[in-house]
Structure formats: C-alpha cells, structure tokens
Amino acid sequence: MHAIQIPTDHEHVQVKPGRRTGLPVMIGIHSTTLGPAIGGLRIKHYDTPSEGLADCLRLSHAMTYKAAAIDNGTGGGKSVVPLPAGASVTRALKEAILLDVAEQIHDLQGAYMAGPDVGTGPEDMDFIFRRTPWAGGRSKAAGGAGGTTEGTFAGLESAIEAAAEVALGASSVSGLRIAIVGLGGIGTLLARALKAKGASLLLADIDPAREALARELGATWCAPHDAMLAECDVLAPCALGGVVTPEVAGQLRCRVICGAANNILSHDAVAAQLRARGIDYVPDFIANAGGLKYASAVEVHRQAPAEAMRGTCRGIAENVRTVLRGCWDGAGTSVELALALGQRRLDAALARPARPGPAQMQAARG
Ligand code: NAD
C-alpha cells in the first residue's frame, strides 16, 4: 500500500467543529508569503474525515505554487467541510455550513480567502461575503468575477496557443488536430473557441448527451479512452486528473498535453517519460490558473474585467513559453521548471522587507 504524502509545512492549520452543524471545518493556510492565502471551499463526501484533511493540506500546498507561478500577489490555502456518508445537502444544511465557514474565515482576519470549488459556486461565495469580506470568485451580480470558469477557459486557450507556438512552431491553432476529453463548463467553451479559430476537433465525454456539441461543431465524437490515445497535435484533458499514468504515457500519440484537469499526471515523474517521448506537457497548475488569476485581479486587485482578462492570458502564455523552452533547453522537466518558477517568486518575496498583512490591506482599501 502507498503511504499518502501530506505536506507538513503549513503556516496554519485548523480543524474546528462548526457551531451550527457540528461538522468539522478544515482550513489549511499553506503560505501567505505572497499575499492572503486563496483557495476553494470544498464541501463533499469523503470516506473518512482524515481523507478530507489530507485533501485540504495537499490542495492548499498546491495553491501556493499555482499562485506563485502566476505571480498574482496571493498565497495558498484551502478549506474543506467533509460531509458524513449518506448526508444529503439540503439548502438549510448548506446555509448552516456556509455560516459556520464564514464565521471561522472571519476570525482569521484575512489570512485566508475562500473561493468556489467542488460543492460550492459563486452564489455560495456571495452568501459568505455578506458575513465576511474574505470570499472571492463571487457572482458578477455581486460585483465579482462570476466564478472561475471563464478565466480558466481563457487562460487555457492562451496556454494551448503558446504551447503550439513553442512545441509545434504553429502561429495559430488553425488546422491543428486537437482532442478535448471532458466537455463540461471549460471543455465546451474551449471547443467552441478552438473551432472558431479553425482547429480540427476530436471530442469526448462520458456523458453521451455531449455528443450534440460534437455534431453542432462538425467535430469527430469518440469514447474518452480513444480520444486520449488518438493521433493529434494537442491533447486537452478537461475532466479528471490522474489520467496520464506511466502506461498511458507510453501509448500517447499526441505532441502536446495541455488541459484544465488538476493533476493530469498520475505522478510528477511521468513528465520525464513524456519528455523522452518528445511530448511537451504543460503542467496543469500553469495551464488552469486563469480562473485564480482573473478572479484575484478583479476582486483583490480591483482591475477592470477587460484589463484583468488581458493580463491573465498574457501571464499564462508567458509561463508556458518559459517552462517549455526551458524544457527544450534541457533545464529539467516542465513540472520541475514550473515549480521552480513559483519557488523563485517565493524566495524573492522572503528576501524583501515584510509586506503589509491582509488586514492592513483591507483597512487601506476602506
Ligand atoms: P465540469 O464538471 O463542468 O465538467 C467535467 C466534464 O467531464 C463533464 O462533462 C463530465 O461528464 C466529464 N467527465 C467526467 N468524467 C469523465 C471521464 N472519465 N471521461 C470523459 N469525460 C468525463 O468541470 P469544469 O469546470 O469544466 O472543469 C474541468 C476540469 O478542470 C475539472 O477537473 C476541474 O477540477 C478542473 N479545473 C477547473 C477549474 C474551473 O475554474 N472550473 C479550475 C481549475 C481546474
């Protein structure tokens, strides 16, 4: 049995029962070196509460590197409320959980800011925001970025274009064969945008209803497994993580992997296997950071939406070029180089004099 690796270098971890529900509210603040720790609030069933805590700690650690790599002036955090087996989430239970979470977040005085994640959406962030200012990814109606899907999609499209430029010498995606696995919120926006730019699409989803999109766009529809192994220029996994195992990596026939799914590789070491096979892998936390970058630009740094979107796309494309070029120069795998990019920004921030804390930033904003 593999031991689960859990990061143990958090600035602050708390697990306290909610006053209303008694359910444990888990908050992991991995790092505030670059700014308030931002990360989604996950409300879902786990087999045991400890699995929820492990998820919270792994994801908050990953958020630090995701935020540092995009240099958006935020740190890494996460919160989890594990639901007991069989519990159905009525609106009353959901609101009681959100009130419990809002109360605990507020007590942290801005060190942690929640966002939408599995089991929560922009409207839940609006609900929390009515009790504490430390909730982002709010609805547009409430003055927020409207969740993270739009930003994540736009950043991913820019990442694919930059990867095509570096890895394939392509000045546009026109004529490229692109396989998208997973046609949910992000995969659907991506398919439409790439089709409009002249790409030839191969689309797949476990939900047969999504075939209608393939028909509408004149794309080839196939089973997810076949799309993963299809001969194509770019493979964009936009459903689940862990899909590129050592075995799958040995069978892939794409030239670039760049998708929205978290943790696309089953292990970081698969990146070296892909490099050896001449496949360029854009690390997930570089490719899918657009939602975080856009929402924090609009809601934390108060940029106008158009400016925030331009900065999101430009920043992600630059990161993709840096990482893939470094990889081509033999400086390391794309995963190692992406982590190093984030680490350099963390080290540089630690070497500078102390910055104002989140509570001071909030006070200064009024
Ligand atoms: P979504 O839930 O809207 O869509 C996921 C789609 O994948 C669904 O259509 C589902 O039917 C399909 N799917 C599930 N299992 C599949 C399988 N085995 N094979 C093929 N298709 C399968 O999710 P989304 O918001 O589009 O996000 C896509 C991925 O990107 C998720 O893994 C998500 O965690 C990740 N991500 C999303 C964001 C964001 O802002 N939405 C940010 C970072 C990462």
Query: Tens digit of pLDDT for each residue in 48-99?
Result: 999 999 999 999 999 999 999 999 899 999 999 999 888 889 999 999 999 9
Domains of the chain in sequence order: 12-66+74-134 (3.40.50.10860), 150-335 (3.40.50.720)
What is the C-alpha separation between 223 and 221, in angstroms, rounded?
7
* Catalytic residue status for 293: no
Q: Which of 118, 288, 296 to mutate to test the pocket of ligand 1 (most atoms within 8 A of CB)?
A: 288
188 lines ligand 1 (CB under 6 A): no
Query: Tens digit of pLDDT for each residue in 313-364?
Result: 999 999 999 999 999 999 999 999 999 999 999 999 888 776 555 555 554 4
Residue 182 in this model has a pLDDT that exceeds 70 = yes
Query: Tens digit of pLDDT for each residue in 99-146?
Result: 999 999 999 999 999 999 999 999 999 999 999 999 999 999 999 999
pLDDT of residue 85: 82
Q: Which of 66, 120, 152 to mutate to test the pocket of ligand 1 (most atoms within 8 A of CB)?
A: 152
pLDDT of residue 1: 40
Q: What is the pTM of this model?
A: 0.91
**299 and 163 Cβ atoms separated by less than 8 Å:** no
146 lines ligand 1 (CB under 6 A): no
What is the C-alpha separation between 198 and 266, in angstroms, rounded?
32
**68 and 346 Cβ atoms separated by less than 8 Å:** yes
**Among 44, 66, 78, 94, the one annotated catalytic:** 78
Q: What percent of the chain has pLDDT over 90?
A: 87
What is the C-alpha separation between 155 and 161, in angstroms, rounded?
10
pLDDT of residue 356: 56
Distance 263 CA to ligand 1 centre (A): 12
Number of Cβ within 10 Å of residue 7's Cβ equals: 15
Between helices 290-299 and 305-328, what is the axis angle to 10°? 140
The closest of 66, 103, 97, 68 to 84, measured between CA atoms, is 97
